[in-house]
Amino acid sequence: MRGTVEALEQEGLAVETLVGAPAALASAPTIAQRPAPRMRRVTPRPARLLAGEARLIAHARACRRTAPTEFDCVYERSAYLVDVGRPLALRHGVPYLVETDGMLVAARTAAYGTVFRRHADTIERRKVAAADAVVVMSRASADSIAARYEIPRARLLVKGLGVERSLVARPPVAEPSVDIGFAGTFQPYHGLDVLVDAVRLLGNRSALLVGDGPRRPLIEEATDALPVELPGLLEREETLRRLAACRVLVVPESSETLYPVKLLEYAALHRPIVCPARAAFDEFERDGEPVFHRFRPGDAADLARALDEALAAGVDERVERLAELVAAEYTWDSVGARLAARIRALVRM
């Protein structure tokens, strides 16, 4: 959202932010970066879930009470159990835009468990039904959300994710020193175990895995005898520098409808990209021209094949096609222009 706010301001819109995580949550490190406190070990899980969700509901109510009274429209990034933008827009009679990935409740339930799932589903449906525009991250998620909530595609805006134009403009590194690169959190759903198995199958290929998370101990153990470097969490500039020195960059796993923002950063580094054969990546392949090296999701042998193929292909025409597309449509200024145009159209209604 920081990139979205900056992009809208660059378009000349005055943006006042209101809703976010409660201050204590926003400033705390992620679960992947800290040990579990003693309270978590002694408090029953259902009680922790109930307390956390009650806190979210109370936070939403507090935000509604402290909201400004003058604005031309409301833009809300959908958050679990948080219903602030919709009632504000209705109260003041202004257009309402909601940004959603369509999987918020299901993803939170799978990752953490939920207490008020039915209520959260109701809130999501209310927000989508009330919205003058539903903003989504990808074309695949637009199809999914339109079908799930039975809304016309005309109400949907594919905003997409973005990267800084300064990153796109950087010259590529001439002499890579590592074969395979990855950056991200070491979570179960990021497919690092499949990537490690693929590196093992390749035998003599080096790899760089930047990041940290709950699966790091398992990954360390699995890569003990492999030419794999695990530098941990790095500053963003250092991460980009290290990735730029890799011959091939990989997305080991993703959801069916959402591509990760690191895909755009990978593309800006002018490196071949290996990714799973999921619908989220289809929007980058225009006119049937491939820009990725694809593999069957969860299949380490097929991932090894795709990595080997990408390493052999090097920086070919598909790399350049993707880099040109990202520079044209997936920088934050492009995202801001699309979103600002829809906001201005709604405000003029």
* Domain residue ranges in the chain: 2-162+331-347, 167-329
**29 or 56: which leads in pLDDT:** 56
Question: What is the pTM for the complete model shown?
Answer: 0.81
Sheet holding 207-210, edge to edge: 228-232, 207-210, 178-183, 246-250, 273-276, 293-295
Across 46-55, 76-85, 134-143, 328-337, least confident range: 46-55
pLDDT at residue 233, as a whole number: 93
Apex 195 CA angle, 235 and 226, nearest 5: 85
pLDDT at residue 40, as a whole number: 54
> Which tens digit of pLDDT belongs to each residue from 138-168?
999 998 899 889 999 899 999 989 999 888 8
**58 or 25: which leads in pLDDT:** 58
Q: For residue 6, which amino acid is it? A: E
pLDDT at residue 209, as a whole number: 97
Long-range contacts of 102-109 (CB under 8 A, 24+ apart): 102/136, 102/141, 102/144, 102/145, 102/148, 102/257, 103/255, 103/257, 103/258, 104/78, 104/79, 104/80, 105/80, 108/80
pLDDT at residue 30, as a whole number: 34
> 299 Cβ partners below 8 Å, 6+ apart?
194
* CATH architecture of the domain covering 2-162+331-347: 3-Layer(aba) Sandwich (3.40)
Dihedral over Cα of 331, 230, 249, 112: its sign: negative
pLDDT at residue 328, as a whole number: 93
Proportion of the chain above pLDDT 70, given as a percent: 92
**76 or 172: which leads in pLDDT:** 76
> Which tens digit of pLDDT belongs to each residue from 224-265?
999 999 999 999 999 999 999 999 999 999 988 889 999 999
Residue 20 pLDDT grade (very low, low, confident, very high; cuts 50, 70, 90): low
Across 18-22, 176-180, 203-207, least confident range: 18-22
Q: What is the mean pLDDT of the chain?
A: 87
Span 30-56, average pLDDT? 64
Residue 60 pLDDT grade (very low, low, confident, very high; cuts 50, 70, 90): confident
pLDDT at residue 310, as a whole number: 97
SS3 301: helix
Q: How far apart are CA 270 and CA 286, in angstroms?
A: 18
Span 291-309, average pLDDT? 97
Q: For residue 329, which amino acid is it? A: E
Across 28-32, 315-319, 320-324, least confident range: 28-32
- Domain 167-329 adopts which CATH fold? Rossmann fold (3.40.50)
Long-range contacts of 68-72 (CB under 8 A, 24+ apart): 68/16, 68/18, 71/16, 72/347
pLDDT at residue 59, as a whole number: 81
pLDDT at residue 345, as a whole number: 94
Proportion of the chain above pLDDT 90, given as a percent: 60
Span 120-135, average pLDDT? 93
**193 or 81: which leads in pLDDT:** 193
pLDDT at 189 over 90: no
pLDDT at 41 over 70: no
2-162+331-347 and 167-329 share one fold = yes
CA 345 → CA 57, 152, 217, 334, 338, distances in Å? 32, 18, 51, 17, 11
pLDDT at 269 over 90: yes
Residue 24 pLDDT grade (very low, low, confident, very high; cuts 50, 70, 90): very low
pLDDT at 28 over 70: no
